Amino acid sequence: MTMRVEPAGIDIEVSPGETLLQAAWRAGYDWPTLCYARGTCTACRCEVLDGLHLLSERTEAEVALLGDLDRRVRRANPRRIRLACQATASGHITVRKPGVKKQSTVEDQEAANVERQ
């Protein structure tokens, strides 16, 4: 299964039973989070653009956290907002999550240091 992440245009393979966040980490991507997949913040939330019906049911953590978020944030359809640390997929999906990017490696950091000198 593939998860397309917009606006970056990244495709990430998602294994059965794996959360969207776990898939991104395994593939070497940084996904914005504060609680590191413990289901206690909403920083990893994403908007499901396609394939909402292919995601797992909301967990208790999602129901509690997103219920509060639904009352505070009205920019997107609340039914399309999911926590990447809780949701699993059973097919190809597309999500919108700004800030997802490839994790920097030691080589990337060394190259950046050389460019700055």
CATH number for the domain spanning 22: value is 3.10.20.30
- Structural domains counted in the chain: 1
Q: What pLDDT score was predicted for residue 40?
A: 93
Output the tens digit of pLDDT for each of the chain's 117 residues.
999 999 999 999 999 999 999 999 999 999 999 999 999 999 999 999 999 999 999 999 999 888 877 666 666 788 899 999 999 999 999 999 999 999 987 666 665 566 666
Residue 63: what pLDDT? 92
**What pLDDT was estimated at residue 116?**
61
**Residue-level pLDDT at 112:** 56
Looking at residue 77, its pLDDT comes to 83
- At residue 72, the pLDDT reads 64
Quickly count: other Cβ atoms within 10 Å of residue 115's Cβ. Answer: 7
Closest to 25 in 3D by CA, of 99, 103, 94 = 103
Range of the domain at 28: 2-115
**pTM assigned to the model:** 0.85
C-beta of residue 1 within 8 angstroms of C-beta of residue 90: yes
